[in-house]
Amino acid sequence: MHNKIKEYLKGELKGLQDQKLYKSERIIESPQGAEIIVKGKKCLNFCANNYLGLSSHPDLIKAAHEEIDRRGYGLSSVRFICGTQDIHKELERKISEFLGMEDTILFSSCFDANGAVFEPLLGPDDAIITDALNHASIIDGIRLCKAQRWIYNHGDMRDVEEVDKSTGKAGKGLERCLKEAKNCRFRMIATDGSFSMDGDIAKLDEICALAEKYDAMVMVDESHSTGFLGKTGRGTHEYRGVMGKVDIITTTFGKALGGASGGSISGPKEIIDWMRNKARPYLFSNSVAPAVVGATIKAIDLLSSSTELRDKLERNTKLFRTEMTKAGFDIVPGDHPIVPIMFGKYPDCSKLAVDFANKMLEEGIYVTAFSFPVVPKGKDRIRVQISAGHETKHIEQAIAAFKKVGKELGMLK
Ligand SMILES: *Cc1c(COP(=O)(O)O)cnc(C)c1O
């Protein structure tokens, strides 16, 4: 037994605790849903990615059970040896159709999809141009790839070089990066569709226009968008009116589409074929389990046949955003069900946000506070996530609790 690293990590872990950066888990003793049980107490959950309330939806649970009965529990194989069933192909077809893309390849997670997508396509002669606030899995995927790298200031489309307001670091706008990368063989712009900390939505229309002007591909990660953004829930490309103009979409089944696990890459047939031959997390990792495949097919069928759930989510989001703004909370305007309530303008804002979240739990509302280094200093917040699983009375209960605690802590008059 090697003890040197244990001693070292003890010190490091204590350091995290001292800096209040140590992550601990809250234990839930119920299925995921609008109402959950934490420490034996019922509370309303406002911090899951369960945007459409499908995580414990009876139709999905039934579909998962049925698929276990029809196709078994596991495949014990990667896809290309003996791990592909008819249902994997069916799900790939359905995702392609739902997203308006030619073809799709499944992965165990979107983290894997993003880890897979760059390296087979781009080499040292190519350029990746990536938003400064992209998800960790995009950052890691880019690290695995030998392409040259440009990072553009978050959401900045311009031909400029200046300090990024979101990160406080010097950087460039997207158009400046595209100009600098003009001699590369291929250029690819990579962005989250919706950014999970602020709930802001990528300006995909402007990104696609710049991509056309500078002959670049567009890759967008739709994990916080698929199923509910846009009139029929297809995602950011629908929301921004650029369906058919995006080259590559990655997304997760671990959020709005039932919340279990799994992810995918969609794109032109040649790119997806290439992935089936070259993408390492596909070649060297197990097939998605039949139960997950069956339930995800059901989720897509539900969303393709009716917009009821995404419409309900939109109504819930509007109600919450409008009433919280009216009450005097500092909320960044927008349409996304991620609603950050900002604390930066109050004294001692980090502590205030944490105290606020704790008091909310006493009121039966489960929300979490985010402080530095998860968000920049002074951008402390409570991030609320609205769901179609919430009923109007749940939203109203949350608003009432926010007002009550806001008054107790001197934030509201
Ligand atoms: C959650 C998330 C992922 C990871 O998805 P998993 O399927 O849970 O691995 C990737 N990208 C973004 C933008 C995400 O929000």
164 lines ligand 1 (CB under 6 A): no
What range defines the domain where residue 190 resides? 58-305
Cβ–ligand 1 contact at 385 (below 6 Å): no
Q: Which of 278, 305, 332 is the last residue of a domain?
A: 305
Distance 111 CA to ligand 1 centre (A): 6
Please report, in tens digits, the pLDDT of each residue of the chain (413 residues total). Answer: 678 999 999 999 999 998 878 888 989 999 999 999 998 999 999 999 999 999 999 999 999 999 999 999 999 999 999 999 999 999 999 999 999 999 999 999 999 999 999 999 999 999 999 999 999 999 999 999 999 999 999 999 999 999 888 778 899 999 999 999 999 999 999 999 999 999 999 999 999 999 999 999 999 999 999 999 999 999 999 999 999 999 999 999 999 999 999 999 999 999 999 999 999 999 999 999 999 999 999 999 999 999 999 999 999 999 999 999 999 999 989 999 999 999 999 999 989 999 999 999 999 999 999 988 888 888 999 999 999 999 999 999 999 999 999 999 999 98
Residue 53 host element (H or E)? none
CB of residue 199 inside a 6 A radius of ligand 1: no
Residue 73 domain-assigned (yes or no): yes
Alpha helices in 28-71 (DSSP H): 58-71
Residues 297 and 338 in one domain: no
Q: Ligand 1 centre and the CA of 207: distance in Å?
A: 21
Half-sphere exposure of 263 (CA within 13 A, CB side): 25
Q: Residue 12 falls within a domain, yes or no? A: no
Q: d(Cα 302, Cα 331) in Å, to the nearest integer?
A: 32
CA of 136 relative to ligand 1 center, distance in Å = 9
- Assess whether 354 and 301 both reside in one domain: no
pTM (two decimals): 0.97
**Ligand 1 site-directed mutation target among 200, 228, 252, most atoms within 8 Å of CB:** 252
Contact 288, 109 (CB under 8 A): no
Same domain, 300 and 313: no
Tell whether 235 and 314 lie within a shared domain: no
What is the CATH classification number for the domain harbouring 184?
3.40.640.10
Which residue, 288, 305, 322, sits at the end of a domain? Answer: 305
Structure tokens at 199: 């709930």
